[in-house]
Chain A
Amino acid sequence: MLEQYKKEYSQSVNQYIVVDLDGNILESDNVIFPDVVGKNLSDIHPFFESVHSALLEPNKRHIFSCIHLTNPENQTIITDIIVKTFDGKQPPLVAILDLTTHYDNYQTTAQVRNESVINSQILELKNEYLQEKEAFKNAFIANFSHELRDPLTGILTFSDILKKTHLNDEQLNYLRVIDSSSTYLKQLIEDILDISKIEAGKLDLVISPFNIKQLLEDIQSVFAIKAQQKGLELITNFNDNLPEIVGGDALRLRQVLSNLLENAIKFTEEGTVTFNASLNQIRAQKASIHFQVKDTGIGIPEDKLEDIFTSFTQLNNSQAYKGAGLGLAIAKHLVSLTHSRISVDSTVGEGSTFSTNINFILDKNQVLKSKKKDVLTPPKSNRKFSILLVEDSEITQLSILKILASRGNYFLDIVTKGEDVIPRIENSEFDLILMDIKLPNSYGDEITKLIRKMPEREHKKIPVIALTARVMKDDLKRYKKAGINDVIQKPFDENTLVSKIEEYLK
């Protein structure tokens, strides 16, 4: 019975072929390739052309797996092929085993596996590429902005100095244009630097006590004028329940609110800009304060609400609204550092409302440090101070020289090369050193390290103030470690420079 079933149901899928040593077919069944007796193996498929050599070695058994052949119906079949040779005159045997079904399944698996491996490799590559590009961009922006600061410091200082000379009205008007253009340029550079710091994750809040009511009033007076200049009205509502002294980053809060107000005024042609602030609640020594800036401007289409917080996005690309569009992006990031967010509500043609809730520390015991006066105090004594300036940029040299000369109680000595610093200190008595960080062939922080190792006490104790545009967190740490006492950020103005210097000359 079994034999009968086998004959009926088992279909042989293997073909057995007997060949001579040249591959001529002596005997064969007809399971896959019929009528091949008398032909050569190479007539069946080019595969066999390459196995001739295998026929010549006696007593061997070669298995070739997963070989694609084409059957007489022109279909692809996938086979294992066994070539067995014997001793002496016994002719070789070639067996072709059709395993198409088996290998088809394998094909499917291999396809899935390879595709997923390749996709992940391409993804990896993309990520690597993007990260490199991003890092390059950030470095580029940081360096580029840095390069812009020196000449800008020069322009700002000298237009200040120029203002104090005898100018006629026409000249004064020109100077105002130079002034406002360079102030605007300075703002742009600062925004770009902020963005690059934010994107590099290097911007941190500095928390200290400040008078928030005072700050809001300051902002109000600045923007009331700006609104008025555009024919708009600035309405402010600062609720009485606001605390006076809070702990937070005053500088960044001012930046966020200014950016929101700037934006509101920019996109409003007529009507009002409303600026509200009120206390939400006080909990666990934290005050949550609600800020709202509302305008009657052009509004934002709903599908664009997300985009407005992206760097370099401006919905209205027309020339009428100048600016790089960084303000809102910066505001959003700064607010997110306080674990809060800015929400927008807007109707096209009617206006937009930006609001946010920000937490401040409320500590009754914290005393507000006395605010430093902006006005320069006259020199305390008649003593003259000797200052060493280490700086290679001629513009910066000139600016500082001008500023200090106008004060009348400073001697300024200048070196431009790092290697000249130590010998100069050894041979003179300086009260303070102003140190540029990026010098040709050396770095100010490295030089400071050397100063701090000098043998004479009066040399190694000289206060060093860095002059630099590089004030990222890592930089500041490095300066401190090198023994630098303080940092003046470029571009600086007369006030900052003189008050910083005086702080260290007691």
Chain B
Amino acid sequence: MKISKKIVLIGHFGVGKSSLIRRFVENTFTEDYKVTIGVHILKKEVTLPKSNDDITLVIWDLEGNDDITNTRPSYLIGTNGFLYVFDMTRPATYQSLENDLDYIKDRYPNIPLKIIGNKKDLVTNDFIKQNKDVFGRFVDFYTSAKSGTNVDDVFTNLAEAVIKEAKK
């Protein structure tokens, strides 16, 4: 039987949520910024490398929000996994990182959550090192939607965590 899981991307606006999904689903990228309003929902089937499980990811691309508490709760019903995305070139998008993560973990304690520092192509490794205490200690993946770095890994890694959680 085909399993289908709901993945939700959240984070400030303009951090690259739609771009990461576009890279993952269509393997394309555009510099043009089209603001997401409400939510776009896309589907992609993946085969997990470790377990060989086939799984359909229903990916919810939420509109960006600079205040996580304004996220519409209806969008989060039935979520199986979260991706929290921020933009390493804009401190405003990671200033409230720790609080935001607490907010999610409080309300959805058992739902796998991965933290992503995006736009890696625009920063140096030194910059990432320097910010170890600022955001580094939280981050699971540094990605670039533009170059494609780590994008597939993010989704498969989260999918694996989701499956593992479902088997519990």
Binding site for B on A (CB under 8 A): 45-47, 49-54, 62-68, 78, 103, 106-107, 110-111, 114-115, 117-118, 121-122, 125
Contacts and interface: CB of A to CB of B under 8 A. Distances in A.
A50 B74 contact: no
Contacts of B33: 114-115, 118
Interface in B24-54: 33-35, 37-43
A125 B14 contact: no
A62 B74 contact: yes
A118 B90 contact: yes
A117 B75 CA distance: 25
B38 A65 contact: yes
B34 to A, nearest CB: 7
B23 interface: no
28 contacts: A46-B42, A49-B6, A49-B43, A49-B56, A50-B58, A50-B60, A51-B78, A52-B78, A54-B78, A62-B74, A64-B75, A66-B37, A67-B38, A67-B39, A67-B41, A68-B39, A78-B38, A103-B37, A106-B37, A111-B34, A114-B64, A115-B33, A115-B35, A118-B13, A118-B14, A121-B92, A125-B89, A125-B91
A111 B4 CA distance: 32
Nearest to B43: A46
A67 B74 CA distance: 11
Contacts of B72: 65
A394 to B, nearest CB: 37
A238 to B, nearest CB: 58
B35 A114 contact: yes
How many of chain B's residues touch chain A, expressed as a range?
20 to 34
Given A114-B13, A121-B90, A121-B92, A64 B35 contact: no
Contacts of B34: 111
B77 interface: yes
A222 B140 CA distance: 69
Contacts of A121: 90-92
Contacts of A110: 35, 37, 63
Contacts of B77: 50-51, 53-54, 62
B58 A49 contact: yes
A342 to B, nearest CB: 41
Interface string B53-78: 00010101001101000001011011
Find the residue from B6, B14, B35 having the highest chain A CB count within 10 A.
Answer: B35
B91 A114 contact: no
Given A103-B38, A106-B37, A65 B74 contact: yes
B41 A50 contact: yes
The 5 closest A-B pairs by CB, nearest first: A66-B38, A50-B6, A53-B78, A46-B43, A111-B35
Given A50-B77, A125-B89, 4 more contacts: A64-B74, A66-B37, A103-B38, A114-B35
Contacts of A125: 89-91
Nearest to A52: B78
A115 B43 CA distance: 28
A114 B74 contact: no
B40 to A, nearest CB: 5
Contacts of A103: 37-38
A387 to B, nearest CB: 48
A63 B78 contact: no
Contacts of B74: 62-65
A504 B42 CA distance: 85
B90 A46 contact: no
A445 B143 CA distance: 51
A66 B91 CA distance: 29
A117 B92 CA distance: 10
Contacts of B35: 107, 110-111, 114-115
Nearest to B80: A50
A46 B41 contact: yes
B158 to A, nearest CB: 16
A122 B15 CA distance: 12
Given A51-B78, A111-B34, A114-B64, A66 B39 contact: yes
